[in-house]
Amino acid sequence: MPRVVRFVFWRILIFYVLSILLIGLNVPWDYPNLSDKTTTTSPFTIVFQLAGSTAAASFINTVILTSVLSAGNHALFAGTRVLYGLSVVRPRRYAPRIFSRTTPAGVPVFALLATSSISILCFGSSYIGSGQLWGWLQNIVGVSNQIAWLSIGLASWRFRKAWLLQGRPIEELKFRVGWTWPWGPYFVIVAVLALILSKPCI
């Protein structure tokens, strides 16, 4: 677990923070059409154009497509596993028993089919009402993710408090991040709350 956490930390730092820093250093704040929502005026595309690349938009399209496929694969896997978990939890099931059936290889096929069907319907909603329904769904997903991170921050804060109140030493924890305690959970809670409250109404 410590190795995975460190890997995620450096991946976020390099691929997100460093890329944003490089864009900020190379793209002028008053660059024409910077706020347009097209790949030709994306900050990443502009960086390549300023570097003299003629195929920047096509490259960014490829990157976006790869990212979308990766995110879709992750969401499909997560949704399937959650639906399967809800159908097997005891003593009370929170989803129909049919979703607990698996193939000999252990694939919850009915949960996968249900999640895939919902995904297709959500994708089709982008063609309804000039994309307004799609925008609502995106906002719901965004807020749901932020609520999940808020819950993680609260759980981390309360867990360590409860651990200490029970008289157990921190050294017993198999994994702990010392340099972000105690301000880490507080920062997550405040930052995510600010993002949620600043989000426009659906």
**What's the whole-model pTM score?**
0.57
Domain of residue 196: give its range. 130-202
Residue 114 falls inside a structural domain: no
Take residue 154 and report the two structure tokens written for it: 């609260």
Residue 193 falls inside a structural domain: yes
Q: Using CA atoms, how far apart are residues 201 and 186, in angstroms rounded to an integer?
A: 25
Of the candidates 48, 45, 26, the residue with the CA atom closest to the CA atom of residue 37: 45
Residue 165 falls inside a structural domain: yes
**Widest distance between CA atoms in the chain:** 64
pLDDT digits (tens, 9 = 90+) for 61-116: 788 788 888 888 888 888 899 899 989 887 888 888 899 899 998 889 999 999 99
Number of domains, the chain: 1
Higher pLDDT, 135 or 28: 28
Query: What would the mean pLDDT of 127-148 be, rounded to a whole number?
Result: 76
H helix or E strand, kind and range, residue 184? helix 183-198
Cα 82 to Cα 24, 43, 76, 153, 164, distances in angstroms: 39, 36, 10, 21, 32
The type of residue at 88 is: V
pLDDT digits (tens, 9 = 90+) for 169-202: 877 777 766 677 778 888 889 999 998 888 765 5
Residue 26 falls inside a structural domain: no
Residue 150 falls inside a structural domain: yes
Residue 175 falls inside a structural domain: yes
Please tell me what DSSP assigns to residue 200: P
H helix or E strand, kind and range, residue 187? helix 183-198
Q: Using CA atoms, how far apart are residues 124 and 37, in angstroms rounded to an integer?
A: 21
Residue 202 falls inside a structural domain: yes
Burial letters 1-22, b for 16+ CB under 10 A, else e: eeeeeeeeeeeeeeeeeeeeee
How confident is the model at residue 68, as a pLDDT?
A: 80
Residue 13 falls inside a structural domain: no
How confident is the model at residue 131, as a pLDDT?
A: 63
Instruction: Quickly list DSSP for 87-154.
Output: HH-SSS-SS-GGGG---TT---HHHHHHHHHHHHHHHHGGGSGGGHHHHHHHHHHHHHHHHHHHHHHH
Q: In this model, does residue 1 exceed pLDDT 60?
A: no
**Average pLDDT value over all residues in the chain:** 80
Q: In this model, does residue 2 exceed pLDDT 70?
A: no
